[in-house]
Structure 1
Amino acid sequence: MNNIAIIIPILFPFILAIIMATMDLGEKKRNVFVSIGVILNFIFLVTIFYIFGKSRVHLIKINGFLDIYFKIDKLSIVFSLLVAILWIFTTFYAMEYMKHEGKERRFYTFFLATLGVTMGIAFSGNLITLYAFYEFLTLSTFPLVIHADSKEALKSGKKYLIYSFVGATLVLLGMVLLFSVTNDTTFNAHGILPALTGDNKGLYLVSYVAMFLGFGVKAALVPFHSWLPAAMVAPTPVSALLHAVAVVKSGIFAILRMSYFIFGAEIIRDLHVNIFLSILIVLSILMGSFLALHQENLKKRLAYSTISQLGYILLGIVLLNEDAFVGSLLHLINHAVIKIVLFFCVGAIMYTTGKTNISQIRGIGKQMPITMGCFAIASISLIGIPPTNGFVSKWYLAQGGLTSGKMIFPAILLLSALLTALYLLPIITEAFFKKGDDIIVKDAPIKMLIPIVLITVIVVLLGLFPNMVIPFIQEIASDVL
């Protein structure tokens, strides 16, 4: 059903961003404005899903290639709801945290614009629309990355731009090659490509690899990963969104769309390209974990952890079977909520104590019990200890590896889980079981604690009651495989 209303959750955050940029609101008015805005956007989103269901609209159509097209399907529902929910929590967290970062007006302007861009990615109905918003994402998040305006921030921002634009160039190359065969880039379950032949095999192969690597830049795929740890110079609310939904998960989402809704699993199997890509993915899983072990800075340790965990999701995509797909999409959700808790907790430590390194947080667990308790729960979940949500998604990924007949993949997941324990548990040990200095520190402010605790509750519930989301994900898997 054609319905222009589906662009409301995309357009509304941009309107909010323009108002924020043009009106000089005081702190209280600004906080009320932003919080009501993101909550209203969530309400618009849910209302549109409920009333209109699977809607679509061609906003601007010049020809078969230049077609700005939005549609709602099950995958877009999952991703957009994840984005909208975590944005609300981040908004309330940022109200307190950004007090010591300053330049709140600029921050919230691009913060709201990025929400609209990410919604545009979620609702994209074809590859060109996804590509356009993918480029806008770089432009809207760049000011957030360089928020501090320090020499280090500007250097990290420059690196982020270079990596992002190189990735976008690869995507554009793949798109042009693809369109020369299909004259269409619309997303459809099972893909849109004609059958594989000797004439088009090489073109398909180059197109798929170019787009996978191009989108893989934002998904921090090794060797295109180094921009992500560098971007940790950004304020913690930005870091949390970069790792949870806004950037790296947009890269993952784009790879999901391109793989299953343009090429289709059958074509990818026949190309045998997943064998080559799985090598890079395994490198991401292991290298991210090993590098995390050597990071003393809390945010950088979590950044390298993200590189590893994104590898889990990418592995589920290229294994091309139902269990792996379910595990991949489930881990996209689980990792988002786990990692945002971890970053919020680290941000709370930095905000309250000014400490950024692991060796500096000895004994802090007794002084900040709620913050570090939530950190411990999220860490155990990321390791994948039963019955946490991390265990559930990794179980499906391991099943997917066994279904594909490759025992090495479950073994790699187990090794990575061990490495995850080795780089997260020492943080908990330092906080709770080692004697610190005698300086009295209070727990984080209530505005920061409430989002931390509530998302931690979501983490626990997703582990205890995974069937809240698994049946819906299984429906998506059966649609595309």
Structure 2
Amino acid sequence: MKNFTIIIPILFPFILAIIMATIKLDEKKRNIFVSIGVILNLIFLVTVFYMFGQSTLHLLKINEFLDIYFKIDKLSILFSLLVAILWIFTAFYAMEYMKHEGKERRFYTFFLATLGVTMGIAFSGNLITLYAFYEFLTLSTFPLVIHTGSKQALKSGKKYLIYSFIGATMVLLGMVLLFSVTKNTTFNARGILPALTNDNRNRYIVSYIAMFLGFGVKAALVPFHSWLPAAMVAPTPVSALLHAVAVVKSGIFAIMRMSYFIFGTEIIKALHVNIFLSILIVISILLGSFLALHQENLKKRLAYSTISQLGYVLLGVVLLNKDAFAGSLLHLINHAVIKIVLFFCVGAIMYTTGKTDISQIRGIGKQMPITMGCFGIAAISLIGIPPSNGFVSKWYLAQGGLTEGKMIFPAILLISALLTALYLLPIVTEAFFKKGEDTVVKEAPMKMLIPIVMITIIIVLLGIFPNMLITFVQKIASEVI
């Protein structure tokens, strides 16, 4: 019974989603139901970690390949806590925002189901379990992407499905090739692969690249990135989840699992595949930043920014040293909280004023000082100006590059930081330092404003007091490298 308890944080959101889909609730009851549900799920999660620690569960084993297996370790604890906490903030934000989007019942059904799926990804103990939940993630988020039902939304949803299924096919190819050699796909620190030989070398290379690129689709790795800006037609709470936790970070998490818990650093270094992949990652970092510079639409500018910032996290993965991986994990967390604030602030502007472009928000900082003040703090953090949390993670990533003796990587991080300043600071200056229209604009409602302010406080605290998080991610890095 003890082992079955560990999957409560996965099952509970699905139960909530089924209830939401089958029982019609008025707005007040629905909001209470959702808020209590997501808070309870965090409580269940923390309770499982406290009572059972690092546990395992074989739920269904047909053979060595088809084995639904769950495992809690430090990496799953880190990722699942990030998901559960940000889901709560998003739920409260959405209660107000979704009023003008409509179809709230359908939205919350898939919103809750996606929480369960993402928890399943966090708790997956082998590749086949991770792959199954990874596919469910596509299916549960698709209705959220096409929520508005417009022609553009349906077109973007189709693109999202096509890219996701292409990525899934590549991952499946890699898994089959890998299993033909290992007969095992269970996650284990430092990897599970037999020693490298001439017979298995090519299979390892094709398998790793196929899975990296396949999972890289959801991580918006160039050239598989274009679905992400297209998905900006979704409501802002969906955009925030896509960019902060649910989809793109699941892709990153899967790459971390596959790299460090299946292949291991020694095999990857021997295969030299990280060199090829680092080129794609650098292109993602720079291209995302350059494309962001040319976007007038606020959400699309943030979307291309995400492509660039995810490249930072992936760079830390392929550098294959402790500092770089610690920086990667730190940026996984820091980017999540920063980007969700940026999207929430843009959503607040859209909700209050209906404005979507940078040129339309002149002078809005004086009318919405809390919203734009939080946006400014998040922007400074994403640029990486000390003592922000963004600086902390970028410092470790730069250290990782120097450890490998490659000055080019810290240089690329500096160039990207400059580009980040060039595409984010003009939004702040337009809002605070340029005269706008004389129309009266009020701050967003409290249900939207409180999550924005609270996560901004978390951003500041992670910058000023990063030691606890640094210590935890360094323990993860030490276990796998």
The answer to whether the superposition gives a TM-score over 0.5 is yes
Give the secondary-structure state (helix, strand or coil) at the position aligned to 2:6.
helix
Corresponding residue number in structure 2 for 1:280: 280
CA positional deviation for 1:468: 2.1
Tell me if structure 2 keeps the 8 A contact 1:389–1:464. Answer: yes
C-alpha distance in structure 2 between counterparts of 1:282 and 1:5, whole Å: 42
Moved more, 294-303 or 465-474: 465-474
C-alpha distance in structure 2 between counterparts of 1:17 and 1:416, whole Å: 40
Give the secondary-structure state (helix, strand or coil) at the position aligned to 1:148.
coil
Measured against aligned partners, the alpha-carbon deviations of 1:15-64 in whole angstroms (never above 9, x if no partner) come to: 00000000110000000000000000000000000000011100000000
Corresponding residue number in structure 1 for 2:51: 51
* Pair 1:394 & 2:398 matched: no
CA positional deviation for 1:267: 0.3
- Give the partner amino acid of 1:323: D
- Give the partner amino acid of 1:46: V
Corresponding residue number in structure 2 for 1:300: 300
* Pair 1:17 & 2:17 matched: yes
C-alpha RMSD of the superposition:
0.6
Tell me if structure 2 keeps the 8 A contact 1:2–1:57. Answer: no
C-alpha distance in structure 1 between counterparts of 2:205 and 2:358, whole Å: 45
Query: Following superposition of structure 1 onto structure 2, how do residues 448-463 of structure 1 map, counting pairs within 5 Å?
Result: 448-463=448-463
C-alpha distance in structure 2 between counterparts of 1:6 and 1:164, whole Å: 29
Measured against aligned partners, the alpha-carbon deviations of 1:421-453 in whole angstroms (never above 9, x if no partner) come to: 000000000000000000010011111000000
So what's the TM-score if we normalise by structure 2?
1.00
Corresponding residue number in structure 2 for 1:312: 312
Corresponding residue number in structure 2 for 1:119: 119
* Pair 1:374 & 2:381 matched: no
Corresponding residue number in structure 1 for 2:240: 240
- The count of corresponding residues between Structure 1 and Structure 2 is 481
Measured against aligned partners, the alpha-carbon deviations of 1:345-377 in whole angstroms (never above 9, x if no partner) come to: 000000000000000000000000000000000
Corresponding residue number in structure 2 for 1:339: 339
Tell me if structure 2 keeps the 8 A contact 1:2–1:56. Answer: no
Give the secondary-structure state (helix, strand or coil) at the position aligned to 1:60.
strand
Give the secondary-structure state (helix, strand or coil) at the position aligned to 1:246.
coil
Gaps of 5+ in 2: none
C-alpha distance in structure 2 between counterparts of 1:433 and 1:443, whole Å: 18
Give the secondary-structure state (helix, strand or coil) at the position aligned to 1:3.
helix
Query: Following superposition of structure 1 onto structure 2, how do residues 82-481 of structure 1 map, counting pairs within 5 Å?
Result: 82-481=82-481
Give the secondary-structure state (helix, strand or coil) at the position aligned to 2:387.
coil
Identity percentage of aligned residues: 87
- Give the partner amino acid of 1:411: A
Measured against aligned partners, the alpha-carbon deviations of 1:126-145 in whole angstroms (never above 9, x if no partner) come to: 00000000000000000000
- Give the partner amino acid of 1:258: M
Give the secondary-structure state (helix, strand or coil) at the position aligned to 1:57.
strand
C-alpha distance in structure 2 between counterparts of 1:72 and 1:273, whole Å: 29
- Give the partner amino acid of 1:450: I
Runs of 4+ aligned structure 1 residues displaced above 4 Å come to none
Measured against aligned partners, the alpha-carbon deviations of 1:52-78 in whole angstroms (never above 9, x if no partner) come to: 001110000000000000010000000
CA positional deviation for 1:273: 0.4
C-alpha distance in structure 2 between counterparts of 1:200 and 1:407, whole Å: 33
- Give the partner amino acid of 2:446: I
C-alpha distance in structure 2 between counterparts of 1:423 and 1:176, whole Å: 42
Tell me if structure 2 keeps the 8 A contact 1:160–1:227. Answer: yes
Corresponding residue number in structure 2 for 1:75: 75
C-alpha distance in structure 1 between counterparts of 2:385 and 2:285, whole Å: 18
C-alpha distance in structure 2 between counterparts of 1:86 and 1:360, whole Å: 29
Give the secondary-structure state (helix, strand or coil) at the position aligned to 2:58.
strand
Tell me if structure 2 keeps the 8 A contact 1:2–1:55. Answer: no
Tell me if structure 2 keeps the 8 A contact 1:174–1:210. Answer: yes
Tell me if structure 2 keeps the 8 A contact 1:462–1:468. Answer: no
- Give the partner amino acid of 1:115: L
- Give the partner amino acid of 1:460: V
- Give the partner amino acid of 1:100: H
C-alpha distance in structure 2 between counterparts of 1:359 and 1:196, whole Å: 56
C-alpha distance in structure 2 between counterparts of 1:277 and 1:62, whole Å: 35
CA positional deviation for 1:2: 6.4
Give the secondary-structure state (helix, strand or coil) at the position aligned to 1:469.
helix
* Pair 1:4 & 2:4 matched: yes
C-alpha distance in structure 1 between counterparts of 2:248 and 2:117, whole Å: 14
Tell me if structure 2 keeps the 8 A contact 1:285–1:308. Answer: yes
CA positional deviation for 1:387: 0.2
Measured against aligned partners, the alpha-carbon deviations of 1:114-166 in whole angstroms (never above 9, x if no partner) come to: 00000000000000000000000000000000000000000000000000000
- Give the partner amino acid of 1:48: V
- Give the partner amino acid of 2:84: A
- Give the partner amino acid of 2:10: I
Give the secondary-structure state (helix, strand or coil) at the position aligned to 2:7.
helix
- Give the partner amino acid of 1:369: P
- Give the partner amino acid of 1:251: G
C-alpha distance in structure 1 between counterparts of 2:323 and 2:52, whole Å: 30
Measured against aligned partners, the alpha-carbon deviations of 1:220-265 in whole angstroms (never above 9, x if no partner) come to: 0000000000000000000000001000000000000000000000
- Give the partner amino acid of 2:37: G
C-alpha distance in structure 1 between counterparts of 2:362 and 2:253, whole Å: 38
C-alpha distance in structure 2 between counterparts of 1:422 and 1:314, whole Å: 23
Give the secondary-structure state (helix, strand or coil) at the position aligned to 1:436.
coil
- Give the partner amino acid of 1:330: L
C-alpha distance in structure 2 between counterparts of 1:72 and 1:44, whole Å: 14
